[in-house]
Structure 1
Amino acid sequence: MNSVKKHTLLLIDDKPANLIALKSILESPDREIICCNSGNEGLQILLKEKISLILVDVQMPEMDGYEFVEITKQHPNTANIPTLFVTAISNEEKYINKAYELGAIDFLFKPLNIEITRNKVESFLKIWDYDQELKRLNEKLVAKNGELEQFANIIAHDLKTPLNNIKSLVEFIEEEHLLDLKEEATDLFEMVKSSAMTMSKLIDDLLYYSKNVENNEGKESINILSEVNAVLKLINPGNNIQITKENLNHTIRFQSVAFKQIIQNLLSNAIKYNDKEMTEIRISYNDALQQIAVTDNGPGIPESQAEKIFQMFYTLGQSSRGDSGTGIGLNLVRKLAERNDAKVSINSQFKRGSEFILSALESA
């Protein structure tokens, strides 16, 4: 049974005897070794074969080793193939510098030391393997990102379709029953349309964010009070929910969409899991500590679960209103904060409910 060839080596030397000697040193069951007598012949082979390592003689007629390497480094398909110069000329600094400037990775000096030759070739083949593995992983990552982007587009479409239907239905009802509607009902219909449009815009923003924002890019100066008010307009808390804003008229550097999403998730959780007749929530900014606190008068979170709640798909079970979370919200909150060089944590010492802290904020 023939062994599978893992690497293909290209040896270039104008003297056949040198090629025979070098090939005998490097032969291995998992290697294919191709020999040729000129740089031009070597270039032809590179067009047809996938080469892992090139060993080229420096002194050759017509095209020497330097010229050969200069040509290979200019072509994207061959530029990254590791190349070793094999030479009998002096190892003076000017020759070595010229080779490195051209893109060679090392030298083998004649007469060849068998052990050094084998070890160097083995080392550079390992580097080639690592490089190929990184390329494969990168290709997988690009493919996965493409799938995620497609998934995000599908989700955005599926979310916006019912929103557009709601808007159309409300407009239809208004047109058909305009004279029958009382002033209060007209105002409610306007609120429904406004909320649907705001939600549609948020979906567009989140889709843009997921496709275009990585790490901490896209930070801008935002006013905390304006961003919080935009979120409150979106979630439209009911009469049994009291939200207090303290010292929020300050400017920080943060991704606007990410900040709104963080605040919306924290407020939604505070409302959903509250067990009191009147839900009380306070949003405050401490400019000295550069942190935002979102506190509520709900049942609180057991200290043993203070860190677990940020894990993906971890939930506290059903809320007092019978809702159950997906376990994604707080994990997303932490990820969005980290993308902005900030931190999200829970103050486990807060005993009158829950207190979430968004800290390490950058003032503008």
Structure 2
Amino acid sequence: MTPVNILVVDDREENIIALSALLDRDDICLFCTTSPNEGLKIAWENQISIALIDVQMPEMDGFEFVEMLKSNPRTRDIMVIFVTAISKDAKYAVKGFGVGAVDYLYKPLEPSITVAKVDSFIQLARHHAEIRMKNEELQNMAVVVKNSADIICTADAQTFLIQNINPAVEKIMGFKPVDLIGTSILNFTIDEQNDLFSEKLAEIVRESLHSSVSEFKFKTFDSTIIWAECRVAYRNKKLFLNISDISIQKSYEDQLIKSKESAEYGKKVKENFFANMSHELRTPLNGIIGITNLLRNTGLNEQQSDMIDLLELSSQSLLGVINDVLDISKIDAGKFKIVRAPINLNELIMALYSLLKFKADENNIEFLLDVDPATPLNLMIDSLRLNQILMNLLSNAIKFTAQGYVKLTVSVLQKEESRAQIKFTVEDSGIGIPANRLTSVFESFEQAEDDTATKYGGTGLGLAIVKKLVELKGGELTLSSEEGKGSTFSFVNWFTIVHKTNEKAANAEEPMLEPFENVNVLVAEDNLVNQFMMAKMLKDWGVEFEIVDDGRKVLERLTVKHYDLVLMDTHMPELNGYETTKIIRASFAEPKNSVPILSLSASAFDHEKEEALTVGMNDSLSKPFKPFELHEKIKTLLAKENELKIKHSLPHA
């Protein structure tokens, strides 16, 4: 509860102390002063509700003080209680009440009477404050209603006769408010909707609805028809109506509906045209390709064979363009289906890589492949469409890259028991895409520049198909590009894991690997599956080991313990393997700063191997690796470390 402000003015300090002691409560905020002038200032600056004023004061007596309070609009509503030691003669009481006091307290003060009177005036002050607040709300509401752009009115819930209505009715409908009082609100609607409006209002009353919105046609004073949105509420046997003119919105809606119907019709015509033309072209083209194959099996001389090769190449190229157009028309028409089946993703990726690598090699472009070892082997995939997506992206990347590299990355973002979220990324160091064309390249028949088709060829359908296929598969295609530096396309999707027994792997015999003696290894690996695999191998080899999942934890463990070897994953959260190695080499003291570090990376790229050696790693091993490969690396690094130790322990010549 908000405290009530009380002002105490008395020229004697001891009187103020006595009153303060009596009124020391949480629901009271006291302002005390011995100066009348200071009291006036306090009253002006604070919302004072009650004032306890001494009558006899040297500078200004209490009567004069109260006269000044009452003369100011800001302080005139303060309830004044005179505190006096003079006679209780009626003339003093009359004078006090005459200047505006509401009561008297006589000295010496009787505590119980003082507290009782103050309590009663506190309740009165709170009541007054509540009344003032409600009056302000009513005044504000009256201003809002009067100036509202909507028609606001009340009507009797039984007769529907208008009781009050604001001036907006004259602007919207042309009727003067005074002429509508006592008339039926039903008269607003057109004749055809009169019964419907009556039934709606009756329903609101019958069900005591506090909120109901509906639309009706109203007729104005000059018989113009307008659309009105009626928001109606029922309370205390009255209907409260807020009526808005929505004729303009309705006109826009009608236009939008017509535009939508026109657009849908145009879209349907376009889809039918593309579909029909594609089918009509593909039918004879299939015949050409078939005859070409038949001719190849007949006796041909070298010149004829070369001509058949050119004919087949041209036919296949044309068929690809036609199929692209057909796919676009099917997707836009909603007739395209995704058909999933159990597929070995690794085989699909490797086949695609092998197919396109020769094309990259011809252009002297480095074609890089990075497949996350955690990628499930068998997944439910529409292999035809995934192949189509990756083929389009990779072909584009190779076509628009004059020098440098094209890289395909397959990474696992999330993995659950029955499904995995996989991200496919195609990155290149090609010509890039201007910032103002990043969106338009995904539109049919659009390319990054107006002369792209002239320089590089193509229909501009590839990326449009890729985007639509990715979305149909439930994914999202993203693009980042910088003109002159290259582009990166990526898409993410969830795939259902299919559990199949890899018989070849199951039957393969692992070579016998010798155990290690007294070897302590720290493993930095953030992938749970890889952690399990590493733990199994090291345990079989008799290695003592600890596993952490980021670089910061590597540093923490090295501060408290020495290890013979660190197996360092290069790509980890928080602090990656490269940064961690730099810190170890620069910040730790011997022998910890020279501990052998083996880089374990899912990337087989030369530049990453070079970076590993540059930051201070001793060797690298690319994932996926076979157990004997890791065993051999560990064996070699430990042997080199032992040689260095022996060398340093020998006496100098």
TM-score tier by shorter-chain length is 0.3 to 0.5
| Larger relative contact order, structure 1 or 2 (CA cutoff 8 Å, min sep 6) | 1
> What TM-score, normalized to structure 1?
0.47
Q: TM-score, normalised by structure 2?
A: 0.28
Q: Rg bigger for which structure?
A: 2
